[in-house]
Amino acid sequence: MGIDIEQSEASRPTAAEEYADSLLAPYAMLNRYHGGRIHGEEPHAYRTAYARDRDRVVHSKAFRRLGYKTQVFINTEGDNYRTRLTHSMEVAQISRSVCQALRLNSEFAETLALAHDLGHTPFGHAGQDALNDLMREKGGFEHNCQSLRIVTTLETRYLQYRGLNLTRASLEGMMKHARVYECDQELQEVCDLRHRRRPCLEAMLVDHCDRIAYLHHDIEDGVDSRILSYEQLFELPAFRAAHERVVAKEHDRFQVARMPLRVRAVVRSMMNACITDLLETTGARLEQAAPHDLGEVRAMSTDEYPVAFSPGMRSNLAEISRFLFARLYRFPRVMQMSRRGARIIEFLFEEFTAHPELMPEHVQARVEAHGLYRVVADYISGMTDRFANREHGFLTGRERE
């Protein structure tokens, strides 16, 4: 039988957790709902369980490696483009602000935001798609599942256990889809992931904040790369409206500012409008639904669920997404970088599955327990863009060690 997070042994909060819970709405992911950890630990004297989860993610090797993993532009393209690391930090900042405004658990939300891309491959979504195709007959590859695998199995930081030993609530919150890899099926039992149920408000807000972050910062990076122009951005009603707001407030400064600064000012106004819309819409829906506790939130239907943008903002975001796919993500230079990354992953996968002795000994040691293909996928997905490029160059003879 799975663990019921709301009725677990974690219902005995520490003094720090009791104080933190007293500041939150009753329907938040309260600290007393953390569900315990797979490997039992004594509670911390002055940090909540979710604060410890967040800090463990921040101190992990997998989190540091995100600094050299592609968001849109490969790391070597420039020093100022977003990476998976900076993106995760931006999502965490927005999530924290939104949750604090709604009296939800910002520490829990930060944990999910900082961990949400841990499982991403090198070379962005092109890398994930390539690895998923290669693993199609072996259980597939999906970065959310891989993130869970990292924090439960692959990260090695503690003497007592593998993984980060996060709370069950955090593990559940990281799962956007109710499945895990076949080799990780025991997690279904210990984390109560066997059944679909409505996620907590914080988890859904992190998803929305993720979308806010990447849609808006990809516009900035697209302009910095000179793929997108200011004139093209005027195709977007949301950009035109934000432009008018900024000009009305800062006309003289705006007129003399350099183009990159103008773009940042307008995109910041767009983001503020989007975040405000999410706060106001969600707040109004929460007031109307008036849930008494987390259990009532989980029992809500899709139509009743309070976390949402307004219809107008949903339309704006969909239009921005279509614009970016047409103008940025499918731009020849971006597509060339993506295809090159996919080919590197395909080559490394073929080499390591045919010759597993090429992998480090500590990686080879996991093959018996997890299977060759899954271990190769673990190894490749954990690489940074830089390391994957170097391995490819060394194995093809194009780069000396």
Q: Is the pLDDT of residue 186 over 80?
A: no
19 and 152 inside one domain: yes
Among residues 331, 351, 374, the one where a domain terminates is: 331
Whether the CB-CB separation of 96 and 106 falls below 8 Å is answered with yes
- pLDDT per position as a tens digit, 293-340: 999 999 998 888 999 999 999 999 999 999 999 999 999 999 999 999
Q: Is the pLDDT of residue 349 over 60?
A: yes
pLDDT attached to residue 183: 55
Q: Is the pLDDT of residue 3 over 60?
A: no
25 and 171 inside one domain: yes
Among residues 135, 157, 190, the one where a domain terminates is: 190
Q: Is the pLDDT of residue 10 over 50?
A: no
96 and 160 inside one domain: yes
Q: Which residue has the higher pLDDT, 54 or 197?
A: 54
| 166 within some domain | yes
Task: Give the pLDDT band of residue 198 (cuts 50, 70, 90).
Answer: confident
- pLDDT per position as a tens digit, 78-132: 678 889 999 999 999 999 999 999 999 999 999 999 999 999 999 999 999 999 9
| 195 within some domain | no
- What does the pLDDT average to over 223-243? 94
282 and 374 inside one domain: no
- pLDDT per position as a tens digit, 163-172: 999 999 999 9
| 196 within some domain | no
pLDDT attached to residue 185: 61
Q: How many domains does the chain have?
A: 3
pLDDT attached to residue 18: 92
pTM of the complete model: 0.91
* Average pLDDT across the chain, whole number: 90
pLDDT attached to residue 259: 85
Q: Is the pLDDT of residue 260 over 90?
A: no
Domain residue limits at 117: 5-190
**Which residues are CB-contacts of 290 (< 8 A; sequence separation ≥ 6)?**
none
